[in-house]
Amino acid sequence: MGKTKKVQTLGDSARRFNFTQRAIAALPTPKEKRGAYRDLQTRELGLLVQPSGHRAYFWYRKLRGVPTWKTIGDVEDTPLDRARDQARAYSHAAAEWKRNNYKDDNPLEPPRDEPTFEKLIDDYCEKRIRAHSNRPERAEHIPSSSINSRNHCIEPVASIPTRVGRGRVE
């Protein structure tokens, strides 16, 4: 009789076992929903198995009460040791951030690009002015740099309400 591996259940969505190449290859492909497994050796390392057969390593942990998920890589492309090392590196970065009382930005999030005023105007004109224009062929010829003039989509600064109260604008 063959040996069966004991898998600990962590609720409905994740099961824990010691990741090895052989154990990962032996995991069944789910029929409908994806399967999530967690490593016993490296706590935050997980394996996601899709119904399509795709398998990927991931790192998961709550940071400041917010669930944080980072995909490490495909099982075919990423060796197990490298996935464990990457999971430990993510955990170390999160621990350092916590140790510093969350002073700076989250080190696991990519830096955000701050939009410029010109970018905001271009997006507004693209999504509102050109998309909802009665004459779209004419709106296509409005150059973005001239949008901020008085005759186009931005109202003069004097007409912008200065104080907003309960149900009224002054």
Which one of 3.30.470.20, 3.30.160.390, 3.30.70.120, 3.40.50.12280 gives the CATH number of domain 8-99?
3.30.160.390
- How far apart CA 42 and CA 129 sit, in angstroms, is 52
Distances (CA, A) of 91 to 61, 63, 97: 8, 10, 10
Within its chain, how far is the Cα of 39 from the centroid?
Answer: 22
Q: What is the pLDDT of residues 11-61, one digit of tens each?
A: 444 689 999 999 999 999 999 999 999 999 999 999 999 999 999 999 999
pLDDT at 10: 42
Q: What is the pLDDT of residues 107-140, one digit of tens each?
A: 888 777 777 777 777 777 777 777 777 776 766 6
Q: What is the pLDDT of residues 59-96, one digit of tens each?
A: 999 988 888 999 999 999 999 999 999 999 999 999 99
pLDDT at 169: 46
Domain ranges of the chain: 8-99, 117-159
Kindly report the pTM of this predicted structure: 0.60
Residue from 107, 87, 85 nearest 96 by CA = 107
- Cβ-based neighbour number of residue 84 at 10 Å: 18
